[in-house]
DNA sequence: CAACAAATGATTGACTTCAATCATATAGAG
DNA sequence: CTCTATATGATTGAAGTCAATCATTTGTTG
C-alpha cells in the first residue's frame, strides 16, 4: 500500500537516528522498531547506504557514527608499511613518564596505534586529535589531555584561538608533528590555523619531531610551516641521498631512520 | 593442531586491534587477515565477546571503539520517555544564534539528540562531553567548541584545571547542567572536578538550566553542587506538589514543565 | 475522477552464517 | 618421555539473510 512520501522520509530519518543511538542494529530489530516488514527495512537501508548515511552489514546496519573516522581509516591504510616504520621510529623516542604531543593527521594516528602495542609507563599524551582518543583514551597508566578548541567541520580535529592558548599552557617533552608537503624550502601545511597551533606547540616542546612519509616529497601546500635549518628532527622513510636529490640537505643527526 | 597459548593470545589481541582500526569486519575478512578458519575466528570472537572486548554481530564483529559510548547509550535508554520530555522542554529554550553549553551526562545527550531533530540556525555549542560530538559534530551551520582538559578514564568527559580555565573564557547564553541527585538541600554531584567545572560554567552563563529526571529525587552524592534558592531554572518531569512532598519548595517560574 | 506511479508485504529459491560434532595434531603438565 | 587437555579445521544440518518477483493498496498527477 503506497504511503505518503513524508512518512517514508520520516521513517528513514528515524532509522538513521536509531542507528546513531545504538551503533549497530540487526534487521530484525529494525523492522520491529519501525513497524515495517523486513523487505521495507532492507529497502530503506539500501537507499540510506547509497546516500552514505549508514553502513550496511550482513544482517544489519551500522550508524554513521564511524563515518567521521571512515575516511580517516581509509587514508591510514594507504602506505601502511611506510607509516608503520615511521611510527616505530617515533615511538622509540618515547621514554616512560614523559609528555608527548601528537597532532592531527594519519601519521600521528599510526604512532598512536604503535603506542598501544608498546606502551611506556606513565605517559602524558596531549593532542588536538579526537580520532586518537578512540585508540588512546582507555590506555592504562596514561594521562590523556585534549586541547580545547573549535571542531573542524567533517574532521575530528580541534583548532582555533582556544587550541593555541591551550597549547601555550602545556608542558611537552616531545611533539610529533606532521605536514602536507616538503620541498627544498622546508615543510608546508594546508591551513593557517594548523600552522599557528603547530608553532605554539613547538614553542612549548623540548623537542619537535616532524614525521613525513615519502609521498610528501616535492609537494607544497598553501602555507609555509618551517624552513629546514630550523628542523631539529625528521622521521622519514627516505634516505639522505634521496632527500639531497630533491634539494634538501640536512645537518647530520637530523634525519632519524628506522633501524628495523 | 594445538598451538602455543602465546600464539592464541597474540592472534586475539591482533583481532581486537583490527576491529579497532576498521570498526566493523565480517568474519570472512577476519579469517583471511588472521589466516585461520572460520571456526577459529568464530571461537576467538565468542571469547572476546565474553570478555566484553568486542561486539558480535551476525556475520561479523564490531570493535570496542564504541564501547566507551555503549554504556552511555544503555544508560540513555533507561527512562527514555522522561529524558525525551526534558530534552524537548530544554530545546524549546534554545533560540537561533545563541551559545549553548551542554555538560556531561545522559540528559545532555538526550538534548543533543533532540537538537538533531529541531535545529535552530547558527548555534554555538560548547561542551566537555566527547560523546556529544558523535551526534553534534557534523551539524550544518553550527559551531562546535570543545573545552580542553584531561580525559576521564573509561568515560568520554574532559575535566580538570584546563577545562575550568577554558570554561572561564567562554561566552554562554544558556548552560544545560545535570546532577546525580536532588533533595531538600539542593543538587548533588559525584565529583569535585565536575562541580568545579559546572560552577565555572555557571559564572559565564547568562542562564543556567538544571535538567534532572525523577529518578534523581531523594538521592544525594558526595559533593554539594548548589542550594535551591540559587537555582533559577529547573527542567524536570516532576510536578511542584511532588517536589514539595520531598521537601523541595521552588519559587514560581523556576520549574519548567513540558507542554506536550 | 481516472490513470499512473510508488510503496508495501508476501513468497520463493539461492546463498550465508552458525553451532555442534568429530578427527587430528601437539603444547604443556607431570 | 608419556599422557592428557587443548587448539584447530572439516563437515553437516539447521537457521538466518538476501535479492527478485508479484499482487495489492493507495498517494499523486493531470
Q: In sequence order, what DSSP letters do the residues of B107-122 get, joined into one string?
A: HHHHHHHHHHHS--TT
- What percent of chain A stands above pLDDT 90? 68
Instruction: Find the helix or strand (DSSP H, E) in which B229 lies.
Output: none
C1' of D9 to CA of B20 (Å): 27
Task: Round to whole Å and give the CA distance between B172 and B103.
Answer: 12
Whether A26 and B137 lie within 8 Å, measured CB to CB: no
Task: Round to whole Å and give the CA distance between B76 and A225.
Answer: 44
Residue for cell digits 565477546?
B49
Distance from CA of residue B77 to its chain's centroid? 12
In the three-class reduction of DSSP (H, G, I as helix; E, B as strand; rest coil), residue B183 is classed as: strand
Task: Round to whole Å and give the CA distance between B35 and B28.
Answer: 10
Task: Round to whole Å and give the CA distance between A193 and A147.
Answer: 14
pLDDT grade, residue B94 (50/70/90)?
Answer: very high
Whether B145 and A146 lie within 8 Å, measured CB to CB: no
Task: Round to whole Å and give the CA distance between A28 and A31.
Answer: 6
Nucleotide closest to residue B37 (CA–C1'): D9
Helix-helix angle A38-50:A27-34, to 10 degrees = 100
Span A136-153, average pLDDT: 84
- Per the model's pLDDT, the better-predicted residue between B73 and A36 turns out to be A36
Model confidence pLDDT, tens digit, residues A197-220 = 999 999 999 999 999 999 999 999
Cell of B78: 533507561
Window 31-50 of B, Cβ < 8 Å to A: none
Span B94-113, average pLDDT: 92
Please tell me the predicted confidence (pLDDT) of residue A260.
47
For residue B192, is pLDDT > 50?
yes
Cell of B241: 506538589
Residue B77: its chain A contacts at CB < 8 A?
21
Task: Round to whole Å and give the CA distance between B101 and B126.
Answer: 5
DSSP state of B95: P
Whether B156 and A137 lie within 8 Å, measured CB to CB: yes
Please tell me the predicted confidence (pLDDT) of residue B260.
46
Report chain B's mean pLDDT, rounded to a whole number: 89
- Per the model's pLDDT, the better-predicted residue between A145 and A70 turns out to be A145
Report chain A's mean pLDDT, rounded to a whole number: 89
Choose the mutation target among A15, A18, A24, A149 for the interface with B, i.e. most B CBs under 10 Å: A24
Model confidence pLDDT, tens digit, residues B68-93 = 555 666 666 667 788 889 999 999 99
For residue A238, is pLDDT > 80?
yes
Please tell me the predicted confidence (pLDDT) of residue B185.
96
Residue for cell digits 568464530?
B42
pLDDT grade, residue B178 (50/70/90)?
Answer: very high
pLDDT grade, residue A118 (50/70/90)?
Answer: confident
Window 97-156 of A, Cβ < 8 Å to B: 113, 116-117, 130, 133-135, 137-138, 143-151, 153-154, 156
The beta-carbon neighbor of A166 closest among B21, B130, B162 is B162
Span A124-144, average pLDDT: 83
C1' of D22 to CA of A180 (Å): 56
Inter-chain CB pairs, A–B, below 8 Å = 132
Q: Which nucleotides of D are covered by protein (CB under 7 A)?
A: 5-11, 16-21, 24-28
Please tell me the predicted confidence (pLDDT) of residue A169.
94
Model confidence pLDDT, tens digit, residues B31-69 = 999 999 999 999 999 999 999 889 999 999 998 755 555
What distance in Å separates residue B134's CA from the closest CA in chain A?
6
For residue A137, is pLDDT > 50?
yes
Task: Round to whole Å and give the CA distance between A247 and A185.
Answer: 9
**Looking at the complex, does the CB of residue A18 fall below 8 Å from at least one CB of chain B?**
no
Query: Is-contact A186 A228, C-beta < 8 A?
Result: yes
Phi, psi of A128 (to 5 degrees): -115, 15
What radius of gyration, in Å, describes the C-alpha atoms of chain A? 22
For residue B116, is pLDDT > 60?
yes
- What percent of chain B stands above pLDDT 90? 68
Please tell me the predicted confidence (pLDDT) of residue A22.
82
For residue B9, is pLDDT > 80?
yes
For residue A47, is pLDDT > 70?
yes
DSSP chain A: ----HHHHHHHHHHHHHHHHHHSEEEHHHHHHHHT--HHHHHHHHHHHHHTTSSEEETTEEE-GGGHHHHHHHHHHHTTHHHHHHHHHHHHHT--TT-EEEE-SSHHHHHHHHHHHHS--TT-EEEESBHHHHHHHTT-TT-EEEE--EEEPTTS-BEESHHHHHHHHT--EEEEEE--SEEETTEEEES-HHHHHHHHHHHHHEEEEEEEE-GGGBT---SEEEE-GGG--EEEESS-HHHHHHTT----TTSEE----
DSSP state of B156: S
- Per the model's pLDDT, the better-predicted residue between A258 and B98 turns out to be B98
pLDDT grade, residue A234 (50/70/90)?
Answer: very high
The candidate with the shortest Cα–Cα distance to A45, out of A19, A71, A70, A21, is A19
DSSP state of B217: B
Amino acid at each position: 500500500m503506497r504511503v505518503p512520501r513524508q512518512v517514508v522520509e520520516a521513517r528513514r530519518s528515524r532509522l538513521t537516528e536509531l542507528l546513531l543511538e545504538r551503533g549497530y542494529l540487526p534487521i530484525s530489530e529494525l523492522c520491529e522498531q519501525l513497524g515495517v516488514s523486513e523487505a521495507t527495512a532492507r529497502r530503506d537501508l539500501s537507499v540510506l547506504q547509497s546516500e552514505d548515511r549508514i553502513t550496511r552489514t550482513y544482517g544489519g546496519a551500522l550508524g554513521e557514527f564511524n563515518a567521521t573516522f571512515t575516511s580517516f581509516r581509509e587514508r591510514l591504510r594507504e602506505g601502511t608499511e611506510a607509516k608503520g616504520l615511521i611510527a616505530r621510529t617515533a615511538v622509540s623516542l618515547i621514554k616512560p613518564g614523559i609528555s608527548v604531543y601528537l597532532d592531527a593527521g594519519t601519521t600521528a594516528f599510526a604512532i598512536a596505534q604503535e603506542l598501544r602495542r608498546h606502551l611506556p609507563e606513565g605517559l602524558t599524551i596531549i593532542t588536538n586529535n579526537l580520532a586518537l582518543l578512540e585508540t588512546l583514551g582507555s590506555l592504562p597508566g596514561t594521562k590523556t589531555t585534549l586541547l580545547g578548541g573549535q571542531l573542524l567541520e567533517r574532521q575530528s580535529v580541534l583548532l582555533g584561538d582556544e587550541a593555541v592558548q591551550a597549547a601555550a599552557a602545556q608542558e611537552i617533552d616531545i611533539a610529533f608533528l606532521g605536514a602536507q608537503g616538503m620541498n627544498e624550502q622546508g615543510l608546508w601545511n594546508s591551513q593557517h590555523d594548523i600552522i599557528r597551533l603547530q608553532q605554539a606547540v613547538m614553542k612549548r616542546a623540548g623537542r619537535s619531531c616532524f614525521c613525513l612519509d615519502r609521498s610528501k616529497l616535492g609537494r607544497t601546500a598553501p602555507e609555509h610551516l618551517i624552513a629546514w635549518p630550523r628542523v631539529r628532527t625528521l622521521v622519514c622513510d627516505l634516505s639522505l641521498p634521496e632527500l639531497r636529490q630533491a634539494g634538501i640537505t640536512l645537518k647530520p643527526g637530523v634525519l632519524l631512520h628506522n633501524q628495523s
